[in-house]
Amino acid sequence: MMTAQPNVNGRHLWTLMEMDEGDILDLLNLAKRYKEGLGPELEDQPAVANLFFEPSTRTKMSFEMAEKRLGLSTLDFSADHSSAQKGESLYDTAKTLEAIGAGALVIRHGEERYFDQLNSLSIPVINGGDGCGHHPTQSLLDLFTIEETFGGFRGLHIVVAGDITHSRVARSNIEVLKRLGARVSVTGPPSFAPGSETYIPMDEACRKADVLMLLRVQHERHTDGAGFSAEAYHKAYGLTKRREKEMKPGSIIMHPAPVNRGVEIDADLVETDRSRIFTQMENGVYTRMAVLYHALADQKATKGAMKR
């Protein structure tokens, strides 16, 4: 088992657990400025390498759009056509990109805490998702969307619904939302809910939540199958039209996507007025612009300090 290493390069973004609340709120404020068209520009415009060893649409494309809007060049890495197919390690791949001049690496990988082995890199590593571990930029865009809707977090009741034990999104969000003053509960199949969190039934969750955060059933991470049909899951644990009508006035629906329409949510509710699903995707671009700016701004000074 890999031993967790401290993040000695302050411009890495591995998990939100390594950031204090003030720094998180600063990133959200910067994302807001970018959405308003007022965000700062980068003096230097290095190339950023996007290394995705697992499939992705929203995270990968969102990072690419963020990079383009910041004027950055993008090095598009394909794991299927790289030396990883010849047995090259992630560390050697990352060192290669560092050596040829990449200014930062955005990495999604199936291994939890893959980033521990990259701590010695002089360029920032931004975690685009590590196995069932963490997804910090998804969590940041979720926080941005919640703050944009409610103006803050303290006192909100957030309910995370679905395949929580296999979700890096849930792990990141539950931890940071509690730190920011929200009350967090979980719902869904009891076998998918961590015992450390407050569990409430789905019908109660819909009545009480300010934010109902739905999750996809991650069949690819189940070793023995999920054990239920799509129809049975939707009836027992999905957001049906009946349940949506019982939600509080002003409450919102969120989902990190991809969405299984008719499973965790009725297809007609994906774009209902209380849904923020596509707003989350839009906000992902501004949030990732903020993350990239934080990682790359004043990088020359950071490198100089490390060399001394």
Is 135 marked as a binding-site residue? yes
For 92-133, where are the E strands, in sequence order?
104-109, 125-130
Cβ(38)–Cβ(29) below 8 Å: no
pLDDT band at residue 1 under the 50/70/90 scheme: very low
Average pLDDT for residues 53-74, to the nearest whole number? 96
Q: Please report the domains of the chain, with CATH numbers, ordered by start residue.
A: 16-135+283-307 (3.40.50.1370), 137-276 (3.40.50.1370)
Is 108 marked as a binding-site residue? yes
Cβ(238)–Cβ(263) below 8 Å: yes
Is 58 marked as a binding-site residue? yes
| Encoded tokens for 219 | 């069949």
Residue 242, classified by CB atoms within 10 Å of its CB into exposed (0-12), middle (13-18) or buried (19+), is exposed
Is 258 marked as a binding-site residue? yes
Q: Phi and psi for 219 in degrees, rounded to 5?
A: -55, -30
pTM for this structure? 0.91
Is 201 marked as a binding-site residue? no
Average pLDDT for residues 146-151, to the nearest whole number? 98
Is 257 marked as a binding-site residue? yes
Is 299 marked as a binding-site residue? no
- CB pairs under 8 A, 24+ apart, for 91-97? 91/117, 91/118, 93/51, 94/51, 94/118, 94/121, 94/125, 95/121, 97/49, 97/51
pLDDT tens track for 81-139? 688 788 899 999 999 999 999 999 999 999 999 999 999 999 999 999 999 899 999 99
Of 136, 145, 169, give the one whose Cα is nearest residue 253. Answer: 145
Is 59 marked as a binding-site residue? yes
Question: Does the pLDDT at position 31 exceed 80?
Answer: yes
Is 216 marked as a binding-site residue? yes
Is 12 marked as a binding-site residue? no
Could you give the percent of the chain with pLDDT greater than 70?
90
